[in-house]
Amino acid sequence: MFNFSELKKRRRQLMAAIDKDVVIILISAPESLRNGDVHYPYRQDSDFYYLTAFPESNAVALLLPDSKDGKFILFSRPYDVIESIWNGQSIGQENAKKIYGADEAYAIDQLEARLPDFLTTKVRCYYLGSQNQVLIKRLNEVLGRASQLACQEGLVEITQAVHELRLRKSPYELDCLRKAARISAQAHIKAMQACRPGRYEYQIEAELLYEFYQNGSRAVAYPNIVASGSNACILHYTDNSALLKSGDLLLIDAGCEYQSYASDITRSFPVNGRFSPEQKIIYEIVLKAQQALIAAIKPGVLWDSLQARCVRIITEGLLDLGLLKGEPESLIENKSYKKFYMHGCSHWLGLDVHDVGCYKLNKKWRPLEANMVFTVEPGIYIAAQTEGVDEKWWNIGVRIEDDVCVMKDGCEVLSQDAPKKISDIESLMNSS
C-alpha cells in the first residue's frame, strides 16, 4: 500500500520551494486508444502520480502553497452507477479526500466553474507538462477568462523542480525499485533456464511475462527486447519473433514495473548454453567494463566520468583483439569505438525507465549523490558485414545491464540476483 504521508511530504517540499501567492496545476495522463474502441491499459503520468498517487484519468490537481502545509485540491470523475457497471467503481470525491488526502475534492465537470475561485489571489500559475490535450484546452479556456483578475504573469513551467525531487529516492521508493529488480532478475533466470535451440524468441518472452505477473508486477517497464543472433545487434529490437539457433547469443533487455517503479536489466547468453571462444572474449570485455563502473560508483563521482571509463575499457579491449587499430587516445578522441559501442553506459531509473533529472547542473556534469538510482549498461555489438571485421566476430551482440543505487560509501546493485559471470550462466543453463 502506498505511503500517503510521503505524498504529503513531497507536496510540501515542492510548495516550500516556490512563492506563496501561486497555484500549481497538475494534469493526469490521457487514455490512449489502441484500435477501434479498445484502449491500452491506463498508466498515470509519472509526475502526477509522484505527487498524488491518484490512478484515474480525467483528473486535475491543484497545489496551493499559501498555508503551512499547503493545500491539495483534486478534480476527478464522480461516482456513476452506470459507469460502475461497465468499468468498475470510480474513486469519487469522498475517497479522494479519505484515501488520497485531498483537502477538497470536486467532480471534474465542475472544473470551469470552481477553478477561478482558486486563482483570484494568485499572481502566477505553475504547471507540469502534460500530453492531455483535452484537459489542457479546458484549463487554457478558464485561465484565459480569469487572466483579467488573476495570474497576471501567466503560466510558468515547473517540471524541472519536480524532476529534481524525483531524482533522489526515498526509502519507500528504494523498496519498490528493489522489488521490481528482484522480480525481473528472477524472470531473467527463468528465461535462461527455458532457452534452447528450436524455441522462438516470443516463447522466451512469455517466460518473462509469466514471472512478472506471477510475482506481483502488473506491467512491463518498457517493451521487452528478446534478440537472438543478428537481432542482438539491433539496440531496440522488439519484434521477438525469430527462431533460436544453436551457436547464437540471446540478448534479453527486460524489466517489470512494481507499484509503477521500473527495473531495467539486460543479460546476454548462448542459446545452447555454452559460449563460443569469440563470444566469451567479447562478453568478458563488456563484463570487465561493467564491473569497473560499478566499483567506481560513490557520492561525488561525476556523471560523465562513468562513460569515459567505460569507453576506455571497451576501446582497449577491442584494440587488443585488432577490431580497432591505432593509439587508444586517438581512437577515443575520434569516437572510433562507436562502430561497436554507440550508446551511453547509464541513465536514471525510477517511475520512468529513462527517468527524469538533469545530468548537468549549470552546464557542468553533476556529481552523484546518495539515493540516486540508475543503470550501468556497457555493450559491444558486431553486426554481420561490418567492414574490416573477420566473420568469426559477426552477429555477436552483448550488453550487460544492472540497476544500482548510490550509497554513502559505494553502491547497491539492486539487480544482483541475475547471473552474469560466464561460469554461473553456463552452470544454470546446463543444470535445467
Residue positions annotated with a catalytic role: 37, 236, 253, 264, 343, 347, 354, 377, 381, 399, 401
Nine-digit cell string for 106: 470536486
Asked whether the beta carbons of 230 and 384 are under 8 A apart, the reply is: yes
Nine-digit cell string for 205: 518472452
3-state secondary structure 12-23: HHHHHCCCCCEE
Q: Tell me, what DSSP letter sits at residue 381? A: E
Sheet holding 225-228, edge to edge: 225-228, 249-254, 265-270
Asked whether the beta carbons of 197 and 271 are under 8 A apart, the reply is: yes
3 state SS of 398: strand
Contacts of 174 (CB under 8 A, 6+ apart): 371, 373, 405
Asked whether the beta carbons of 125 and 151 are under 8 A apart, the reply is: yes
3 state SS of 146: helix
The amino acid occupying position 70 is: G
The amino acid occupying position 198 is: G
Cα(181)–Cα(101) distance, integer angstroms: 30
Cα(132)–Cα(44) distance, integer angstroms: 11
The distance between the two most distant Cα atoms of the chain, rounded to a whole number of Å, is 74
3 state SS of 171: helix
Neighbours of 44 (CB within 10 A): 19
Nine-digit cell string for 347: 541513465
CA atoms within 13 A on the CB side of 170: 16
Smallest CA-to-CA distance from 355 within 209, 257, 277 is with 257
Smallest CA-to-CA distance from 205 within 197, 217, 194 is with 194
Pairing of strands 265-270, 249-254: antiparallel
Smallest CA-to-CA distance from 261 within 106, 118, 53 is with 53
Cα(250)–Cα(195) distance, integer angstroms: 9
